[in-house]
Amino acid sequence: MSGQGSGGNVIAAICNIFFPGLGQLVQGRIGAAIGFFLFWVISGALTWVLVGWVLLPIVYIWAIIDAAKFRPYYERHG
């Protein structure tokens, strides 16, 4: 995948709109994908305590921004 702002990152960010972590999975970042998905599930479970209503939008936005700004290691350390 190309660097930040590339078409691949845009597709990954769009995938995160459907399920947080899906865009990271598209980018091949399995650990980040599992982490975002679990955080999303836990936030959803916490909605009955009202904390989840604050956490869910944060998880969505964080996952989308993370996928959009991702740069592979080889691009950062040339």
pLDDT digit string (tens) for 2-58? 555 568 899 999 999 999 999 999 999 999 999 999 999 999 999 888 888 999 999
Helix (H, G, I), strand (E, B) or coil at 78: coil
Provide the whole-model pTM: 0.82
Single-letter amino acid code for the residue at 59: V
Q: How many C-alpha atoms does 52 have within 13 Å on its Cβ side?
A: 11
pLDDT of 67: 93
What confidence category does residue 69 fall into, taking pLDDT thresholds of 50, 70 and 90?
very high
